[in-house]
Amino acid sequence: MLFHFNGEIITDALAFAKKIPTDLKKSLKTLLFLTISASLHYTCTSNLILRKVRMKKIRLAIVGVGNCASSLVQGLEFYKKNTGLAGQTEALGLMNYTIGGYRPQDIEVVCAFDIDKRKVGQPLKKAIFAPPNCTQLITSALTSPDIKVQMGHILDGVAEHMKDYPETRTFLPSDARPVDVVKALKDSKVEICISYLPVGSSKASEFYAECC
């Protein structure tokens, strides 16, 4: 690092410090103290404001209660229970524990849709473990969400070739009547809808996008 003092270029930080007059050193120390104090005050005040003005929880809807949905629900529950405000080692796996002041515990799943008879009508915290789901277990101690999985619209969400698969590896469409998705989203006051529909479900994807 190079320092410039009275027309002289100094490469040694210690030598540079020795050349600074005593009065100036005191002024610099005071300035540094005030700068750090102001920075800490701004940071603490900003965090406090974020806590106080944080809006209600982010209300989430899930379309397709498969492996991805299972990982999301388990992950939310895991980080809610195992991470404090300081974000200890249990937060490993998250790039950012807080985003815009929001934490994992500020995300709430309030609505879910699926077409499999092993999931429809079941509490979401139970449905995420029903076949053909086979994702890695993160935690089975789920206190929420208690919402029931509602019957969605099949459309092109079940591929023809999946009929040849064993029951543990395929979808078993429910005979239940599909719900009014728009009404369900409105009644649940959903803010964000995540689609975990199977790849290739273009008609189903368009349908849910239109409902949103």
Which of 9-18, 101-110, 143-152 has the weakest average pLDDT?
9-18
Question: What does the pLDDT look like over 57-74, one tens digit per residue?
Answer: 999 999 999 999 999 999
80 within 8 A of 105, measured Cβ to Cβ: yes
What is the rounded CA–CA span in Å between residue 106 and residue 191? Answer: 13
Choice between 5 and 57, residue whose per-residue pLDDT is larger: 57
The stretch 81-98 carries a mean pLDDT of: 69
Answering whether pTM is above 0.75, one says no
HEC secondary structure over the chain = CCEEECCEEECCHHHHHHHCCHHHHHHHHHHHHHHHHHHHHHHHHHHHHHHHHCCCCEEEEEECCCHHHHHHHHHHHHHHHHCCCCCCHHHCCCCCCCECCECHHHEEEEEEEECECCCCCCEHHHHCCCCCCCCCCCCCCCCCCCCECEECCCCCCCCHHHHHCCHHHCCCECCCCCCCHHHHHHHCCCCEEEECCCCCCHHHHHHHHHHC
pLDDT confidence bin for 108, thresholds 50/70/90: very high
The pLDDT, as a whole number, for residue 85 is 52
Q: What is the mean pLDDT of residues 25-45?
A: 51
Q: How does pLDDT run across 131-180, given as a tens digit for each residue?
A: 999 999 999 888 888 899 999 999 999 998 898 999 999 999 999 999 99
- Residue 2 pLDDT grade (very low, low, confident, very high; cuts 50, 70, 90): very low
